[in-house]
């Protein structure tokens, strides 16, 4: 299963949940599978404003010098933020890749790491000056930010969020068995397709509201069954 977003206004919003409202001193990790179209500057996951100081956090897919890179921003204001991106291509248009972003709560750019398909990748730091809060009252969102702004074009599946920085061994476990790392898990959305609510299997019950997205035609190559049953199996009994 996966969710196909058109890059125009498709998105899934999980609400302004306290467990997803990380500030600059809070460690956290976000994992997902994605398969982008050949487009630029689209946001995969976010909890960030779209106007004003644009306070919050976001993970982008961008085309930089011909490379499909992942860019991570934790932001209070224009000059008060952490901004890092992968130093080379980690995404491939039309192909599935597993991405994990971890942050250690240090308020330093070095505390942001990206793993692609299970391996840590080199990073380029664009800005390293975060001194104020990144907390906000905006919804956590898959594809875009604060509504239909910069929505992602392509397929997304198995979004996981933890309230800690997971380690390299757990990154591989997330890649192969989504939903199986339960310590600190505060959000897990397989992204079954188009129906609302999109269930949150973390136990936090922050179910998503789907706007526009359709069911994907391909699935990520996971190696095992995760810890929740498919909805069609639930409904069969």
Q: Look up the CATH number of the domain holding residue 30.
A: 2.60.120.200
Highest-confidence range of 25-39, 57-71, 99-113, 184-198, by mean pLDDT? 99-113
Give the per-residue pLDDT at 194.
79
- pLDDT digit string (tens) for 13-35? 999 999 999 999 999 999 999 99
Whether residue 234 is predicted with pLDDT greater than 90 in this model: the reply is: no
Whether residue 228 is predicted with pLDDT greater than 80 in this model: the reply is: no
- pLDDT digit string (tens) for 113-154? 999 999 999 999 999 999 999 999 999 999 999 999 999 999
> What gap in Å lies between CA 234 and CA 227, rounded to an integer?
13
Categorize the per-residue pLDDT at 231 as very low, low, confident or very high, splitting at 50, 70 and 90: very low
Whether residue 168 is predicted with pLDDT greater than 50 in this model: the reply is: yes
pTM, entire model? 0.94
Whether residue 107 is predicted with pLDDT greater than 70 in this model: the reply is: yes
Give the per-residue pLDDT at 65.
73
Tell me which residue range forms the domain holding 61: 3-234
Give the per-residue pLDDT at 224.
67
- pLDDT digit string (tens) for 32-56? 999 999 776 699 999 999 999 999 9
Q: What pairs with residue 160 in β-bridges?
A: 31, 188
**Token pair in block for residue 58:** 């976001």
Whether residue 233 is predicted with pLDDT greater than 70 in this model: the reply is: no
Q: How many domains does the chain have?
A: 1
> What gap in Å lies between CA 92 and CA 98, rounded to an integer?
11
Whether the Cβ atoms of residue 30 and residue 100 lie closer than 8 Å to each other? yes
Report, as an integer, the average pLDDT of 183-212.
94
> What gap in Å lies between CA 30 and CA 34, rounded to an integer?
13
E strand segments, the chain: 3-6, 11-15, 28-36, 42-48, 56-64, 67-77, 80-86, 97-103, 112-116, 119-120, 123-129, 140-142, 153-162, 185-189, 209-211, 214-215
């Amino acid at each position: 299963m996966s969710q196909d977003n058109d890059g125009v206004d498709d998105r899934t919003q999980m609400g302004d949940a306290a467990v997803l409202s990380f500030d600059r001193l809070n460690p956290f990790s976000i994992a997902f599978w994605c398969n982008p179209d050949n487009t630029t500057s689209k946001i995969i996951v976010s909890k960030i404003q779209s106007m004003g100081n644009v306070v919050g956090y976001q993970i982008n897919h961008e085309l930089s010098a011909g490379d499909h890179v992942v860019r991570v921003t934790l932001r209070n204001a224009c000059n008060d933020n952490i901004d890092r991106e992968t130093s080379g291509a980690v995404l491939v248009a039309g192909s599935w890749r597993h991405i994990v972003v971890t942050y250690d709560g240090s308020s330093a750019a070095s505390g942001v790491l990206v793993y692609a398909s299970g391996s840590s990748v080199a990073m380029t730091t664009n800005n390293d000056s975060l001194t104020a809060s990144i907390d906000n009252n905006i919804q956590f969102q898959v594809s875009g930010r604060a509504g239909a702004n910069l929505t992602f074009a392509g397929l997304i599946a198995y979004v996981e969020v933890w309230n800690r920085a997971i380690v390299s061994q757990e990154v591989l476990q997330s890649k192969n068995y989504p939903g199986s790392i339960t310590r600190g898990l505060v959000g897990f959305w397989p992204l079954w397709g188009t129906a609302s609510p999109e269930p949150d299997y973390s136990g936090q019950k922050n179910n998503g509201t789907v706007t526009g997205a359709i069911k994907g035609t391909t699935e990520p190559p996971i190696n095992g069954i995760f810890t929740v049953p498919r909805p069609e199996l639930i409904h069969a009994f």
